Amino acid sequence: MLLRALIVDDEMLARARLRTLLQECTDPPSRVDGEAASTAQALELLARQRFDLVLLDIHMPGSDGLVLAKTLRDMADAPAVVFVTAHAEHALQAFELDAVDYLTKPVRLSRLMVALQKIARHRLLARQAQAEGSDEFLAIQDRGRSERVPLADVLYLKAELKYVTVRTAARSYIFDGSLSELEEKYARQFLRIHRNALVARRAVRAVEKHFDDEEGEGWAVRLQGVDEVLTISRRQLPAVRELVSKSA
Protein backbone atom coordinates (compact mmCIF):
# COMPACT_ATOMS: atom_id res chain seq x y z
CA MET A 1 0.00 0.00 0.00
CA LEU A 2 1.71 3.18 -1.22
CA LEU A 3 1.10 6.23 0.98
CA ARG A 4 1.05 9.61 -0.76
CA ALA A 5 2.40 12.32 1.51
CA LEU A 6 2.15 16.08 1.77
CA ILE A 7 4.92 17.75 3.79
CA VAL A 8 3.98 21.07 5.44
CA ASP A 9 6.86 22.96 7.07
CA ASP A 10 8.13 26.51 6.60
CA GLU A 11 11.77 25.36 6.83
CA MET A 12 13.19 24.05 3.55
CA LEU A 13 15.82 21.92 5.30
CA ALA A 14 13.17 20.28 7.47
CA ARG A 15 11.13 19.40 4.38
CA ALA A 16 14.23 17.99 2.69
CA ARG A 17 14.97 15.85 5.77
CA LEU A 18 11.46 14.39 5.79
CA ARG A 19 11.57 13.80 2.05
CA THR A 20 14.78 11.79 2.47
CA LEU A 21 13.34 9.78 5.35
CA LEU A 22 10.18 8.96 3.42
CA GLN A 23 12.26 7.67 0.53
CA GLU A 24 13.89 5.25 2.95
CA CYS A 25 10.57 3.98 4.32
CA THR A 26 9.72 0.60 2.82
CA ASP A 27 7.16 -0.75 5.27
CA PRO A 28 4.85 0.70 4.14
CA PRO A 29 6.28 2.45 1.06
CA SER A 30 5.57 6.15 0.72
CA ARG A 31 5.97 8.94 -1.80
CA VAL A 32 6.09 12.72 -1.42
CA ASP A 33 3.41 14.12 -3.74
CA GLY A 34 3.54 17.69 -2.46
CA GLU A 35 5.31 20.20 -0.24
CA ALA A 36 4.05 23.42 1.32
CA ALA A 37 5.72 26.14 3.39
CA SER A 38 2.48 27.42 4.95
CA THR A 39 -1.08 26.46 5.80
CA ALA A 40 -2.36 28.50 2.84
CA GLN A 41 -0.13 26.65 0.38
CA ALA A 42 -1.13 23.32 1.90
CA LEU A 43 -4.85 24.09 1.48
CA GLU A 44 -4.27 24.97 -2.18
CA LEU A 45 -2.60 21.61 -2.77
CA LEU A 46 -5.28 19.73 -0.84
CA ALA A 47 -7.97 21.35 -2.98
CA ARG A 48 -6.31 20.07 -6.17
CA GLN A 49 -5.19 16.56 -5.30
CA ARG A 50 -5.65 13.76 -2.82
CA PHE A 51 -3.12 12.76 -0.17
CA ASP A 52 -3.07 9.84 2.26
CA LEU A 53 -1.19 11.71 4.97
CA VAL A 54 0.08 15.13 5.96
CA LEU A 55 3.38 15.52 7.84
CA LEU A 56 2.66 18.78 9.60
CA ASP A 57 4.80 21.28 11.50
CA ILE A 58 3.09 23.38 14.19
CA HIS A 59 4.88 26.75 14.34
CA MET A 60 4.72 28.43 10.92
CA PRO A 61 4.11 31.99 9.71
CA GLY A 62 0.42 32.85 9.51
CA SER A 63 -1.98 30.08 10.52
CA ASP A 64 -0.14 27.35 12.38
CA GLY A 65 -0.32 23.60 11.95
CA LEU A 66 -2.98 23.17 14.63
CA VAL A 67 -5.33 25.39 12.63
CA LEU A 68 -4.71 23.33 9.51
CA ALA A 69 -5.33 20.08 11.40
CA LYS A 70 -8.65 21.44 12.67
CA THR A 71 -9.63 22.32 9.10
CA LEU A 72 -8.66 18.85 7.87
CA ARG A 73 -10.74 17.20 10.58
CA ASP A 74 -13.88 18.68 9.04
CA MET A 75 -13.02 17.59 5.48
CA ALA A 76 -14.57 14.57 3.81
CA ASP A 77 -12.05 11.79 3.16
CA ALA A 78 -9.36 13.82 4.93
CA PRO A 79 -5.74 12.61 4.96
CA ALA A 80 -4.24 11.30 8.17
CA VAL A 81 -2.25 13.88 10.14
CA VAL A 82 1.16 13.27 11.72
CA PHE A 83 2.62 16.26 13.53
CA VAL A 84 6.38 16.77 13.15
CA THR A 85 7.61 19.50 15.45
CA ALA A 86 10.39 20.58 17.78
CA HIS A 87 7.83 21.47 20.47
CA ALA A 88 6.64 18.55 22.60
CA GLU A 89 4.19 20.62 24.65
CA HIS A 90 1.44 20.54 22.01
CA ALA A 91 1.01 16.75 21.99
CA LEU A 92 -2.26 16.67 23.93
CA GLN A 93 -3.85 19.32 21.73
CA ALA A 94 -2.63 17.48 18.63
CA PHE A 95 -4.30 14.23 19.63
CA GLU A 96 -7.50 16.10 20.44
CA LEU A 97 -7.43 17.05 16.75
CA ASP A 98 -7.34 13.34 15.79
CA ALA A 99 -3.67 13.26 14.86
CA VAL A 100 -2.41 9.73 14.20
CA ASP A 101 0.98 10.46 15.75
CA TYR A 102 3.21 13.22 17.13
CA LEU A 103 6.90 13.17 16.21
CA THR A 104 9.53 15.47 17.66
CA LYS A 105 12.49 16.74 15.67
CA PRO A 106 15.00 15.43 14.81
CA VAL A 107 12.82 12.59 13.51
CA ARG A 108 14.22 9.07 13.53
CA LEU A 109 13.49 6.77 10.60
CA SER A 110 12.23 4.00 12.89
CA ARG A 111 9.80 6.37 14.61
CA LEU A 112 8.47 7.68 11.30
CA MET A 113 7.90 4.14 10.05
CA VAL A 114 5.80 3.37 13.15
CA ALA A 115 3.56 6.33 12.32
CA LEU A 116 3.21 5.22 8.69
CA GLN A 117 2.36 1.68 9.76
CA LYS A 118 -0.46 3.02 11.94
CA ILE A 119 -1.89 4.84 8.93
CA ALA A 120 -1.53 1.80 6.67
CA ARG A 121 -3.34 -0.45 9.18
CA HIS A 122 -6.18 2.02 9.51
CA ARG A 123 -6.60 2.31 5.74
CA LEU A 124 -6.54 -1.48 5.30
CA LEU A 125 -9.25 -1.99 7.89
CA ALA A 126 -11.37 0.74 6.29
CA ARG A 127 -11.03 -0.90 2.87
CA GLN A 128 -11.98 -4.29 4.26
CA ALA A 129 -15.05 -2.86 5.92
CA GLN A 130 -16.00 -0.99 2.76
CA ALA A 131 -15.74 -4.23 0.78
CA GLU A 132 -18.15 -5.80 3.28
CA GLY A 133 -20.60 -2.98 2.56
CA SER A 134 -20.72 -1.50 6.05
CA ASP A 135 -21.84 2.15 6.10
CA GLU A 136 -23.18 2.41 9.65
CA PHE A 137 -22.09 5.00 12.19
CA LEU A 138 -21.96 5.49 15.94
CA ALA A 139 -23.13 8.91 17.08
CA ILE A 140 -20.57 10.26 19.56
CA GLN A 141 -21.03 13.38 21.68
CA ASP A 142 -17.49 14.74 21.97
CA ARG A 143 -16.69 17.97 23.86
CA GLY A 144 -20.02 19.58 23.08
CA ARG A 145 -20.26 18.52 19.46
CA SER A 146 -21.70 15.51 17.66
CA GLU A 147 -19.44 13.25 15.65
CA ARG A 148 -20.29 10.24 13.51
CA VAL A 149 -17.70 7.47 13.83
CA PRO A 150 -17.95 4.88 11.05
CA LEU A 151 -18.60 1.44 12.46
CA ALA A 152 -16.07 0.22 9.90
CA ASP A 153 -13.34 2.07 11.83
CA VAL A 154 -14.18 0.65 15.26
CA LEU A 155 -11.83 -2.08 16.53
CA TYR A 156 -13.36 -2.71 19.93
CA LEU A 157 -16.01 -1.52 22.39
CA LYS A 158 -15.19 -1.71 26.10
CA ALA A 159 -17.41 -0.90 29.06
CA GLU A 160 -15.78 1.57 31.46
CA LEU A 161 -17.97 2.43 34.49
CA LYS A 162 -21.06 4.16 33.07
CA TYR A 163 -19.65 4.64 29.56
CA VAL A 164 -18.29 2.63 26.63
CA THR A 165 -14.86 3.28 25.15
CA VAL A 166 -15.01 3.18 21.35
CA ARG A 167 -11.54 2.43 19.97
CA THR A 168 -10.39 3.01 16.42
CA ALA A 169 -6.86 2.70 15.06
CA ALA A 170 -6.49 6.47 15.31
CA ARG A 171 -8.05 7.33 18.70
CA SER A 172 -10.56 6.54 21.45
CA TYR A 173 -14.04 8.01 21.99
CA ILE A 174 -16.48 7.92 24.90
CA PHE A 175 -19.94 6.59 24.03
CA ASP A 176 -22.86 7.14 26.38
CA GLY A 177 -24.70 3.86 25.97
CA SER A 178 -24.98 0.20 26.88
CA LEU A 179 -22.54 -2.47 25.75
CA SER A 180 -25.38 -5.03 25.71
CA GLU A 181 -27.44 -2.84 23.39
CA LEU A 182 -24.46 -2.44 21.06
CA GLU A 183 -23.91 -6.20 21.06
CA GLU A 184 -27.53 -6.85 20.17
CA LYS A 185 -27.59 -4.24 17.42
CA TYR A 186 -24.22 -5.09 15.85
CA ALA A 187 -23.90 -8.83 16.52
CA ARG A 188 -22.88 -9.44 12.90
CA GLN A 189 -19.89 -7.08 13.16
CA PHE A 190 -18.78 -7.61 16.79
CA LEU A 191 -18.05 -10.58 19.04
CA ARG A 192 -18.21 -10.54 22.84
CA ILE A 193 -14.91 -11.70 24.35
CA HIS A 194 -15.54 -10.67 27.95
CA ARG A 195 -18.33 -9.28 30.08
CA ASN A 196 -16.89 -5.82 29.42
CA ALA A 197 -15.68 -6.01 25.81
CA LEU A 198 -16.75 -6.55 22.21
CA VAL A 199 -14.23 -6.78 19.36
CA ALA A 200 -14.64 -6.25 15.63
CA ARG A 201 -14.74 -9.69 14.01
CA ARG A 202 -12.76 -8.48 10.99
CA ALA A 203 -9.91 -7.18 13.21
CA VAL A 204 -9.26 -10.37 15.22
CA ARG A 205 -5.83 -11.78 14.37
CA ALA A 206 -4.64 -14.11 17.15
CA VAL A 207 -5.26 -15.61 20.58
CA GLU A 208 -2.31 -15.70 22.96
CA LYS A 209 -1.41 -16.47 26.56
CA HIS A 210 -1.83 -13.50 28.85
CA PHE A 211 -1.56 -12.57 32.53
CA ASP A 212 -4.13 -10.19 33.97
CA ASP A 213 -3.74 -8.57 37.40
CA GLU A 214 -7.39 -9.21 38.22
CA GLU A 215 -8.00 -12.58 36.58
CA GLY A 216 -4.53 -14.12 36.68
CA GLU A 217 -3.19 -16.30 33.89
CA GLY A 218 -5.47 -16.66 30.92
CA TRP A 219 -5.90 -15.69 27.28
CA ALA A 220 -6.09 -12.49 25.28
CA VAL A 221 -6.99 -11.51 21.75
CA ARG A 222 -4.74 -9.47 19.47
CA LEU A 223 -6.39 -7.10 17.01
CA GLN A 224 -5.12 -5.61 13.80
CA GLY A 225 -4.77 -1.85 14.19
CA VAL A 226 -3.87 -1.52 17.89
CA ASP A 227 -0.90 -2.65 19.95
CA GLU A 228 -2.80 -3.56 23.12
CA VAL A 229 -4.37 -6.98 23.74
CA LEU A 230 -7.77 -7.60 25.34
CA THR A 231 -8.53 -10.27 27.94
CA ILE A 232 -10.78 -13.14 26.88
CA SER A 233 -13.05 -14.77 29.46
CA ARG A 234 -12.96 -18.59 29.70
CA ARG A 235 -16.58 -18.69 28.64
CA GLN A 236 -15.92 -16.79 25.40
CA LEU A 237 -12.58 -18.43 24.54
CA PRO A 238 -14.04 -21.18 22.26
CA ALA A 239 -15.93 -18.61 20.15
CA VAL A 240 -12.83 -16.45 19.73
CA ARG A 241 -10.68 -19.44 18.79
CA GLU A 242 -13.27 -20.52 16.24
CA LEU A 243 -13.25 -17.05 14.67
CA VAL A 244 -9.44 -17.07 14.46
CA SER A 245 -9.41 -20.51 12.84
CA LYS A 246 -11.95 -19.42 10.22
CA SER A 247 -9.93 -16.31 9.33
CA ALA A 248 -6.59 -18.13 9.21
- pLDDT per residue as tens digits for the range 6-15: 999 999 999 9
The CATH number that applies at residue 218 is 2.40.50.1020
Please indicate, yes or no, whether residues 123 and 188 belong to a single structural domain of this protein: no
Distant-in-sequence, close-in-space partners of 230: CB < 8 Å, separation ≥ 6:
156, 158, 193, 194, 197, 199, 220, 221, 223
Domain CATH code at residue 88: 3.40.50.2300
Same-domain pairing of 102 and 205: no
Number of independent structural domains in the chain: 2
Does the model's pTM come out above 0.75?
A: no
pLDDT at 83: 94
Query: What local confidence, expressed as pLDDT, does residue 126 receive?
Result: 65
Instruction: Give the domain-ending residue among 100, 130, 160.
Output: 130
Q: How distant, in Å, are the alpha carbons of 55, 61, 66, 77, 129 from that of 226?
A: 21, 35, 25, 21, 16
The predicted pLDDT at position 8 comes to: 97
β-strand 172-175 against 204-212: which pairing, if any?
unpaired
Q: Return the sign of the alpha-carbon dihedral for residues 65, 82, 120, 6.
A: positive
Q: List Cβ neighbours of 239 (8 Å cut-off, separation of 6 or more).
A: 191, 192, 193
166 and 220 fall within a common domain: yes
User: Would you call 181 helix, strand, or coil by DSSP?
Assistant: helix
The verdict on 121 and 8 lying in the same domain is yes
Q: Are 43 and 71 in contact (CB under 8 A)?
A: yes
Does one domain contain both 13 and 74? yes
CA separation for the pair 91, 88 (Å, rounded): 6
**Residue-level pLDDT at 105:** 92
pLDDT value of position 98 = 77
Q: For residue 248, give the 3-state DSSP assignment.
A: coil
Residues 32 and 121 in one domain: yes
Q: Do 46 and 11 share a structural domain?
A: yes
Q: Which residues of the chain have pLDDT under 70?
A: 76, 125-135, 142-146, 213-216, 248
pLDDT in the model for residue 132: 54
**Residue 195: its pLDDT value, please?**
92
Full residue range of the structural domain in which residue 160 is found: 137-247
